[in-house]
Amino acid sequence: MSEPVQHRDEDLSASASRAVMVFFAFVLFALGLGAFAISFDVVEAARPWVFFGGIVAISLAFAIPTTIVPALEDR
């Protein structure tokens, strides 16, 4: 009787880098929500810039783990 072969899906460095990427994506998402929340309480001149910053932060929170990092890993 032979023993079953165990395959490792990823090495430890890949899983560690993925954990860091998810953490920073979560931080960007939280900062984007925070920017949305405070955008209505800031000075009138800064209001659209803070709102736009929230949009950019949330966009990057989704773009970094789904498109940017996989494209860099394939190089």
Structure tokens that stand for 34 in this block: 């925070």
Question: CA–CA separation, 52 vs 39, rounded Å?
Answer: 9
CA distance 26 to 20: 10
Helices 47-63, 12-38: crossing angle, 10 deg rounding: 160
Please indicate whether residue 51 or residue 73 has the higher confidence score (pLDDT).
51
- pLDDT per residue over 12-48, tens digit each? 566 777 888 889 999 999 999 999 999 999 999 999 9
Q: In this predicted structure, what is the pLDDT of residue 73?
A: 76
Nearest 10 degrees: Cα torsion 27, 32, 35, 40: -150
